[in-house]
Structure 1
């Protein structure tokens, strides 16, 4: 493997990429100067994203009659808006997120050998996905920033300003602003990687608990397992509350990104112009998968707890605690879910597959419509020459 699959490495890697969005909270006892730097960095990147998004909205307003430029602007807006929206929700749930992450780190530090082995198994399962998404995001960021060197556009993104941009150093400063905003977009999957880390951890804890339920031998052990079960259900509920807004933003922007990028992917534009949209769409879709996968695992582990209790030899031969046993088994059949009524269905692999299915149906329908009505997409002459 190209990285060390340990719980400590997974946490450090997630902390590192969380710096892009200033989403990993400071724990109690952190020096005051670090808290000040954290606040400065948060507000600086927050206003960076908002101001960049405003220039893109202004460009979309000015070019609404050109479908290609309009969809490019919408594509940029959907990605840039994710950053400050997710930052806002992290700010709202700062204390809750701090407790969840700190509790996870404390448990990992004191984990026994068999627990660490299970954590390593989970890290090997999802680690490559996180590294691939972040690496691909870094690649597309470089392509977008350097695109003006080869394409007839002044800035990395489609942006307009209500003043002249031809002077110096005005142009250089605006280019730097757009480049920084583009780099900040790399934080989009970082937010979801942080949520996924908590979900994978919760799923691993439930799997460990299922083994404990299966091997329970007396009333005292059973009572301890019930306490752990109640705590883990509460812990998952706290994850759901703190991540609901972030994941809803991911779901909504995935749809908007698919709609706006689809126009370019299925159009007659030159292939070099399609590649950034194709890669970006894959990355955004993978971001949704990053959290759908561990959410599905949590649902399965909740059910596994009930099945493990049912298969326990002690429970099958026990004449006592029948009501408690039935309660735990019934509670395992109604796991905690992450959803936002009317916006985000229950987060799971089923939802992710539904998203992919409808996206590909949209691409196919759009391609058929373009072929049937034979619309002139008004491709600029410069793009035709480059093709």
Structure 2
């Protein structure tokens, strides 16, 4: 019999997926020594990633006459840059991320059995398999990176070049291990999307539990507790969206640039093997954005739904004070919780994701037409 994925197991799996990059915030009472070690580890990770970027950039510049190698090198630059972006964001907003994570873990630790059943039914059972698939896909891509040089008879997993002879041992082994370590960093940083989605989903779950409390209130005391919970949830949700924003921006930006490059690959005469590889990478890039859009859409709906549920209570049988407090909840729920991307970009939602897909396909169609016109013009000449 298959074991059920519970709330605590879900948190443990996400935390484990981030183990290699030390991304899950430390407890608030962690010693200064642990915090210092974490920061040093992140700085070392940045240096390792920059070294890989430098080697791929050198290979790109050195082989500008080889379009396939240029494209391969370009594909490696985007995920490496994404790693550096995530680490810098983690350093910049660490205090906020630590605070919202601590509150999330504390809420999950204090959750009651009937509340956990609601979260299990409405959230874990519906979302766990998708995010588990995404985490598995990210690390399986790393496995492909491991075996690539063996199957394709290539010296290194990623296309790179050096101003020295790296084909001899032990330099070849060192550069190979170096690229594999950075590959692990990339796979783990892609799992940051699951961590951010977890924060958003559990905010929605707490709004769902508040809705259940509103449906069962029997006294003014219960109602006042709901008002207090709602106020606290609004403040917490705002902190979560602010913590998620920079990571979502990085994912949208690097996924978009990668998808544009994938479009260029399909309209140029590169090998079939590279095109097949790009199909899987394109699916991963689209999944990354969807990992944010789905919980963001649900958060909009559930936070706005509080007003409707509050209105459905027997307010007409209650006192004037009760109706005034009810009106306060309804007014505060009129403005939904949005994950607004910085730099003037729209808020994340399924509607945004649909327009995102439409824009990507529009770019691809435009590039294909331009490439065909250029090819026809060259043929006439």
What is the TM-score when the length of structure 2 is the normalising length? 0.90
How many angstroms apart in 2 are the aligned matches of 1:63 and 1:217? 74
Q: What is aligned with 1:206?
A: 207
How many angstroms apart in 2 are the aligned matches of 1:168 and 1:220? 74
Q: Is the 8 A contact 2:68 2:270 kept in 1?
A: no
> Shift of the alpha carbon at 1:291?
1.6
- Cα distance change, pair 288–20 in 1 and its aligned pair in 2 (3 A): farther
Number of residue pairs the alignment of both structures matches:
375
Q: Is the 8 A contact 1:203 1:298 kept in 2?
A: yes
How many angstroms apart in 2 are the aligned matches of 1:259 and 1:67? 16
Q: Is the 8 A contact 2:7 2:120 kept in 1?
A: yes
> Shift of the alpha carbon at 1:106?
1.7
Cα deviation digits, residues 170-211 of structure 1 (max 9, x gap)? 222112211211221102321111111111110010011112
Counterparts of 1:371-386 in structure 2, within 5 Å, are 371-374=372-375
How many angstroms apart in 2 are the aligned matches of 1:30 and 1:85? 25
> Shift of the alpha carbon at 1:59?
3.0
Q: What is aligned with 1:252?
A: 253
Partner SS for 1:106: helix
How many angstroms apart in 2 are the aligned matches of 1:189 and 1:125? 21
Gap regions ≥5 residues in structure 2: 377-381
- Cα distance change, pair 369–3 in 1 and its aligned pair in 2 (3 A): farther
Cα deviation digits, residues 89-114 of structure 1 (max 9, x gap)? 11222222222112212221221122
Q: What is aligned with 1:82?
A: 82
> Shift of the alpha carbon at 1:40?
4.3
Counterparts of 1:1-387 in structure 2, within 5 Å, are 4-30=4-30, 34-35=34-35, 37-64=37-64, 66-121=66-121, 122-151=123-152, 153-313=154-314, 315-321=315-321, 322-342=323-343, 344-374=345-375
Q: Is the 8 A contact 2:56 2:160 kept in 1?
A: yes
Partner SS for 2:21: coil
Q: Is the 8 A contact 1:21 1:87 kept in 2?
A: no
Cα deviation digits, residues 77-98 of structure 1 (max 9, x gap)? 1111111211111122222222
- Runs (4 or more) in structure 1 with deviation over 6 Å come to none
> Shift of the alpha carbon at 1:266?
4.2
CA RMSD of aligned residues (A): 2.4
> Shift of the alpha carbon at 1:250?
0.6
Q: Is the 8 A contact 2:338 2:347 kept in 1?
A: yes
What is the TM-score when the length of structure 1 is the normalising length? 0.89
Q: Is the 8 A contact 1:21 1:191 kept in 2?
A: no
Identify which range, 107-116 or 198-207, moves more after superposition: 107-116
> Shift of the alpha carbon at 1:359?
1.7
Gap regions ≥5 residues in structure 1: 376-387
How many angstroms apart in 2 are the aligned matches of 1:342 and 1:39? 27
